[in-house]
A = this chain, B = another copy of it.
């Protein structure tokens, strides 16, 4: 089995479990993670894009549904009206904590598979 295949299998395991158990993708998980760990928990869309290796456009599209279900909140920046700041909500933090536990379970499971095969 080549590296590409291994990577695909791992990605799909993670995305599958996060989706089934918490209703988010791994990208959404990483987005919440970066927001939580940002100074002041506020980030510009463009900085999120850079952290997530997405385009600004991709960030716009991923944030819309996350705002609708209340995982994140928009704030304006008084110094620069072009900027739309993003922060993690209480619901978002709680989901992030639970999803982190799931991720630990997945890693344990995947490492176990390595030893068994």
Q: Any chain B CB within 8 A of the CB of A7? A: yes
Q: Any chain B CB within 8 A of the CB of A75? A: no
Instruction: Report how far A28 CA is from B115 CA in the complex, Å.
Output: 32
Partner of A4, one of B5, B8, B12, B30: B30
Q: Any chain B CB within 8 A of the CB of A91? A: no
The B-contacting residues of A in range 1-50, CB under 8 angstroms, are 4-5, 7-9, 12, 26, 30
Contact residues in B for A26 (Cβ distance below 8 Å):
4
Nearest CB of chain B from residue A116's CB, rounded to whole Å: 20
Q: Any chain B CB within 8 A of the CB of A105? A: no
A7 touching B7, Cβ below 8 Å: yes
